[in-house]
Every structure is written in C-alpha cells, then in structure tokens.
C-alpha cells in the first residue's frame, strides 16, 4: 500500500532533514515518520538521562514530537534539525525538573546510597573477569557516575558524548553561551573522575572519564 503523497519519491532514509520537513508540511505521512525514525533515539536518550525516569521520558518524547510537528512551519532549514528538536526536548525536561521534586522524578536518585553502591560494585575487580567484563563494569560505573551529576551538567555530557554534538550545537540546544558549555563540561568530567576514583577506577591510569561515549574533549 502506498502512503499518501509517497508515490514516486525516495525512501525517507535517502532524504535530508529539510526534505523530510518539506514532505511533512505537504501532508505526506512518510515525512513525519521519517523524522520520528531518525530522531526518536536522541530525543529519548536526552530526556531519560536528564530526568532519570524512563516512563516520564517516554511521555515527554511523544510531547516533543507533537510540539515539533505543530510548529514545523517555523523550522529554519539553514540550521540543523537535530538542534531544533533537541532544544524542544531539553526545554520540556527543564520544565519538568522545575515542576517536580527530585524524589518524584528520579528512579535513580543521584545522591542515594544505591547509586553510590552501584559505582563501587561496578569497580569490584572480583565481580567479573576479562577485558569484556571490565568494559561492562566501566560502562556501569560511568552510568552511575553520570547519574550523580547535577542535571545542568548531565544534560551537557549527554549532548556532547552520546549525541556527538559540538560545543556550538550544544549552545544552540540549551541556550547557554559556548564558554559556559565548555566550563560546565570541564566541571562535569572532573566530578565524574572523582566518583570513578572513589569507586576504585582511578587506580588504573588507562581509565579516564571522557564521558559515556568514550571521547575525551
């Protein structure tokens, strides 16, 4: 079955963001679907890491796309679509954080004994053996250390190392000056390093806290 307006056009994956937006504005279902398929993962990842609540993140991810599609005519194709839609998601998450207490939002309270124990347990050299097991341990330790960051630092780490955004792109998403983005990322890496060192990873000079994606700057 052919979707409305889809006949004679390339698949959504072959289209640029601007072309998908144009298709969506023309009423073609494949334009909307292509944008959701392309950006649902980064939108959800940002929300769940900022909020630490998967159910709320899923709800706000849906709200993000609904809001984006209702304002699609305001999108300026001179700019990156990912920055535009992540800014919508970011603002929804900030609003949620302002409305609710940390205890209401967080499935993983970053200051809870459970999170602290998760960092320590992830660094236990007796827990597993072998390099693959150590990589899994480090991934768990990084995730737990990330959970302990204050939200304004955590969001930047996610954008930089999970979504691979530049400092300029992060500034566009969050509205922070580029200098503040760099300063906050530096502080976030230092704070994560302290959490990892306290968990025992600091004893290994090969382990550095560049961020969950493995980059170092």
How does pLDDT run across 120-177, given as a tens digit for each residue? Answer: 444 444 444 457 777 777 778 888 888 888 888 999 999 998 888 999 999 999 999 9
Determine the pLDDT at residue 122: 40
Determine the pLDDT at residue 136: 79
Determine the pLDDT at residue 58: 95
Determine the pLDDT at residue 166: 94
Lowest mean pLDDT among 16-25, 86-95, 110-119: 110-119
Answer whether 13-103 and 109-203 agree in fold: no
22 pLDDT more than 70: yes
Task: Mark 136-155 as b/e (b = at least 16 C-beta within 10 Å).
Answer: ebbebbbbbbbbbbebbbbb
CATH of domain 13-103: 1.10.1740.10
Fold held by 109-203: Arc Repressor Mutant, subunit A (1.10.10)
117 pLDDT more than 50: no
Cβ count near 28 (within 10 Å): 19
- Please answer whether residues 67 and 162 qualify as being in contact, where contact means their C-beta atoms are separated by less than 8 angstroms: no
Show the DSSP H helices in the chain as ranges: 17-25, 29-51, 54-70, 81-99, 102-105, 113-122, 131-147, 151-157, 167-174, 178-198
Domain ranges of the chain: 13-103, 109-203
Determine the pLDDT at residue 102: 46
State how far the Cα of 125 lies from the Cα of 131, in Å rounded to an integer.
11
Q: What is the pLDDT of residues 48-106, one digit of tens each?
A: 988 888 999 999 999 999 999 999 999 998 899 999 999 999 999 999 988 875 444 44
Is the full-model pTM beyond 0.85?
A: no
**Spatial CB neighbours of 26, under 8 Å, sequence gap ≥ 6:** 5
Q: How far is CA 84 from CA 29, 56, 119, in A?
A: 20, 21, 34
């Amino acid at each position: 079955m052919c979707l409305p307006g889809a006949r004679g056009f390339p698949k959504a994956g072959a289209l640029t963001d601007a072309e998908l937006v144009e298709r969506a504005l023309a009423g073609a279902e494949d334009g909307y679907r292509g944008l959701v398929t392309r950006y649902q993962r980064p939108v959800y990842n940002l929300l769940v890491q900022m909020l630490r609540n998967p159910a709320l993140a899923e709800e706000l991810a849906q709200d993000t796309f609904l809001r984006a599609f209702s304002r699609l005519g305001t999108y300026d194709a001179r700019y990156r679509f990912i920055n535009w839609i992540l800014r919508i998601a970011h603002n929804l998450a900030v609003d949620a954080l302002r409305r609710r207490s940390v205890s209401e939002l967080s499935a993983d309270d970053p200051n809870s004994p459970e999170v602290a124990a998760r960092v320590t347990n992830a660094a236990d050299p007796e827990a597993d053996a072998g390099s693959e097991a150590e990589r899994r341990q480090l991934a768990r330790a990084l995730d737990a250390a990330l959970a302990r960051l204050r939200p304004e630092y955590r969001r930047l780490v996610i954008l930089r190392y999970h979504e691979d955004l530049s400092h300029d792109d992060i500034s566009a998403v969050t509205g922070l000056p580029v200098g503040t983005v760099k300063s906050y990322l530096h502080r976030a890496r230092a704070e994560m390093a302290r959490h990892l060192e306290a968990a025992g990873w600091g004893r290994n000079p090969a382990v550095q806290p560049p961020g969950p994606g493995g980059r170092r700057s």
